[in-house]
């Protein structure tokens, strides 16, 4: 996390530093990114940068957190799905998840950053992952409760287990999708199948829908 001196900088100066860092991490990944290049491009000094962050990993983690917060805010994560039955509940989640994927498609630098992070770009980012989970958990808990109210989410197992399963499946889905290019898969169909898989795991057994279509294979050129 940034040190207090960074928080005291004008918002425009904070944004300038973080935008340079985003470009560097997106282009080179954590391992090959250069803190010296970030410092030079941001027109600051090494001493100042270490007043703001403990080092490259600390800066990387903060850039990730800021970008995740932006995605969640822009995607409307504060809103709970407005549904009155299981089908409309899961359809609303599918629509939300598809919009997130579309935002990432439109933001290649953010997608590259998250791809690097989710595939292990930095050697030790437990705190960053924990902070990201904290951003999502309140919304997830309210969404699970709303789903249970309309019979879309099972109630026969502890709620904390449902939340753990949902978080784990969500991370796996994110990693799988973000490591594939939009040209390699049919994104809307892929999102539909992934949300359906979550529904089959977390929804009451009697409310499970018919089996969805098979995930289409990527074209040969995309797989090579």
* pLDDT given for residue 1 in this prediction: 76
Note whether 144 and 75 are same-domain residues.
Answer: yes
Provide the CB-side half-sphere exposure for 212 (13 A, CA).
Answer: 17
Tens place of pLDDT per residue across the chain (224 aa) = 788 899 999 999 999 999 999 999 999 999 999 999 999 999 999 999 999 999 998 899 899 889 888 887 776 666 788 889 999 999 999 998 898 888 888 899 999 998 888 887 665 666 666 666 777 788 889 999 999 999 999 999 999 999 999 988 988 888 888 888 767 788 899 999 999 999 999 999 764 455 555 555 544 444 44
Instruction: Please check whether residue 152 lies inside any domain of the structure.
Output: yes
Instruction: Please check whether residue 223 lies inside any domain of the structure.
Output: no
Note whether 91 and 145 are same-domain residues.
Answer: yes
Q: Which domain holds residue 34?
A: 4-60
* pLDDT given for residue 174 in this prediction: 84
Question: Would you state the structure tokens that stand for residue 115, as one six-digit string?
Answer: 């791809």
CB 36 within 8 A of CB 50: no
* pLDDT given for residue 53 in this prediction: 94
* pLDDT given for residue 179 in this prediction: 82
* pLDDT given for residue 180 in this prediction: 80
Q: Is 169 exposed, middle or buried (0-12, 13-18, 19+ CB in 10 A)?
A: middle
Q: How far apart are CA 189 and CA 134, in angstroms?
A: 29
Distances (CA, A) of 23 to 56, 72, 73, 121: 14, 20, 21, 15
* pLDDT given for residue 201 in this prediction: 94
Q: How far apart are CA 65 and CA 113, in angstroms?
A: 11
Closest CA to 169 of 194, 189, 144: 194
* pLDDT given for residue 34 in this prediction: 96
Last residue of a domain, one of 44, 60, 76: 60
Note whether 97 and 207 are same-domain residues.
Answer: yes
Check which CATH number belongs to the domain holding 16 and give it.
1.10.10.60
Q: How far apart are CA 98 and CA 191, in angstroms?
A: 6
Check which CATH number belongs to the domain holding 203 and give it.
1.10.357
* pLDDT given for residue 204 in this prediction: 92
């Amino acid at each position: 996390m940034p040190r207090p001196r960074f928080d005291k900088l004008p918002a425009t100066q904070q944004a300038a530093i973080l935008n340079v860092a985003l470009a560097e991490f997106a282009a080179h990944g954590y391992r090959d990114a250069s803190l010296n290049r970030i410092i030079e491009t941001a027109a600051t000094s090494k001493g100042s940068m270490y007043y703001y962050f403990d080092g490259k990993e600390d800066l990387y983690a903060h850039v990730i957190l800021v970008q995740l917060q932006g995605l969640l805010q822009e995607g409307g994560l504060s809103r709970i799905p407005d549904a009155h039955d299981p089908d409309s509940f899961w359809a609303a989640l599918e629509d939300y998840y598809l919009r997130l994927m579309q935002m990432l498609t439109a933001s290649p630098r953010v997608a590259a950053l998250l791809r690097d992070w989710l595939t292990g770009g930095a050697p030790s980012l437990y705190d960053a992952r924990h902070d990201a989970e904290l951003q999502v958990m309140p919304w997830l808990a309210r969404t699970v409760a709303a789903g249970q109210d309309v019979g879309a989410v099972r109630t026969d197992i502890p709620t904390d287990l449902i939340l753990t399963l949902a978080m784990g499946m969500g991370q796996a889905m994110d990693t799988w999708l973000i490591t594939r290019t939009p040209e390699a898969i049919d994104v809307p169909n892929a999102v539909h199948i992934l949300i359906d898989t979550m529904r089959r795991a977390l929804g009451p057994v009697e409310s499970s829908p018919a089996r969805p279509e098979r995930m289409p294979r990527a074209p040969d050129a995309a797989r090579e």
